[in-house]
Amino acid sequence: MKEAVIAYDNVDICYDGRTVVRQATFSLQPGEILGIVGESGSGKSTLLQSAMNLLGPGGAVTQGHIWFQGQDILALSDEGMQRLCGAQMAMVFQDAAASLCPVRTIGSQICEAAAAHLDMGKEEVRRQTLELFARLGFSDGRRVWESYPFELSGGMNQRAALVLVMLLKPALLLADEPTSALDVCAQKQVLDELLYLRDQYGTAIMLVTHDMGVVSRVADYVLVVKDGQIIEYGPAKDVLASPAQAYTKELLAAVPKLRRDRR
């Protein structure tokens, strides 16, 4: 078996002394998509944030290890972590516009992030971005490049944020409900971009969603969290077809039957 991109080994996570994630153990191989589901407050975002050291001042991993390509990321210095973030590990959020700078164009933000992590001139960044926009079906990539986030729809901002991730080609993408704020059409485009990223660059993706329909469309594995504990973890086709836990059955029952049919 190849080395895991990321492996959680018996991880506990606390905020201000309160344990909110317990004994999390799972791993992702290159090119694997892991769907993480569970009710609000169950610890899904906390799981993602711990990988990038984004738990905030009160948060900490208090037990276990998180290995990124064999490195213990909890033992990394701040500089070591900064080197990983962006270049090898990237994150996208539910509200893409909120994670973009409101007073700068998409193009200038892409150039800035590329300058921090890639050895590539501005013209080349622009050329590759426009090429990706076109390949991904943006009919007016030049306008998107020159636009401010408020001039674009939520779905367009999310897709622009993903194009930036594609330029960086990280080994791991942490995606926290990237499709939850989108209509069905934009949701499909974003899922297609995730699949493209995985297929072209072998990026492994941890995808938090509350939508089992999204899980059934793209996930290879599923992890179900309840009250900070992983109660079910396995290949998506098995978990979706015959969930072992009553809780997973309830999550599935909330999805109309048609949307559960796998592609």
Ligand X SMILES: Nc1ncnc2c1ncn2[C@@H]1O[C@H](COP(=O)(O)OP(=O)(O)OP(=O)(O)O)[C@@H](O)[C@H]1O
- Chain contacts with ligand X (rule: CB under 6 A): 15, 20, 38, 40-46, 56, 58-59
**Does the protein bind Mg ion through residue 53 (CB under 5 A)?**
no
**Distance of closest approach, residue 154 Cβ to ligand X, in angstroms:** 17
The smaller minimum CB distance to Mg ion, of residues 45 and 187, is found at 45
**Does the protein bind Mg ion through residue 216 (CB under 5 A)?**
no
Interaction mask 117-146, Mg ion, x per CB under 5 A: ------------------------------
**Distance of closest approach, residue 63 Cβ to ligand X, in angstroms:** 16
Q: Where are the beta strands (DSSP E) in 136-250?
A: 172-176, 204-208, 221-226, 229-235
Which partner in Mg ion, ligand X, none is near 67 (CB below 5 to 8 A by kind)?
none
**Distance of closest approach, residue 123 Cβ to Mg ion, in angstroms:** 38
For the residues of 44-103, what is the DSSP string, one character each? HHHHHHHHTT-S-TTEEEEEEEEEETTEEGGG--HHHHHHHBTTTEEEE-S-HHHHS-TT
Closest Cα partner for 91 from 193, 207, 184, 196? 207
Distance CA 241, CA 93 (A): 29
**Residue labelled with tokens 């290890």:** 65
**Distance of closest approach, residue 24 Cβ to ligand X, in angstroms:** 11
**Does the protein bind Mg ion through residue 45 (CB under 5 A)?**
yes
**Distance of closest approach, residue 263 Cβ to Mg ion, in angstroms:** 26
**Residue labelled with tokens 């077809």:** 241
Which partner in Mg ion, ligand X, none is near 216 (CB below 5 to 8 A by kind)?
none
Distance CA 3, CA 17 (A): 33
Position 107, amino acid? G
Which partner in Mg ion, ligand X, none is near 58 (CB below 5 to 8 A by kind)?
ligand X
**Distance of closest approach, residue 149 Cβ to Mg ion, in angstroms:** 22
Cα distances (Å, whole numbers) of residue 23 to 74, 148, 239: 16, 42, 20
Which partner in ligand X, Mg ion, none is near 148 (CB below 5 to 8 A by kind)?
none
Question: Quick one: tokens of 12?
Answer: 């506990």
Q: Which residue is nearest to Mg ion (CB)?
A: 45
Q: ∠138-86-139 over CA atoms, to 5°? A: 5
The smaller minimum CB distance to Mg ion, of residues 47 and 165, is found at 47
Which chain residues interact with Mg ion by CB under 5 A? 45
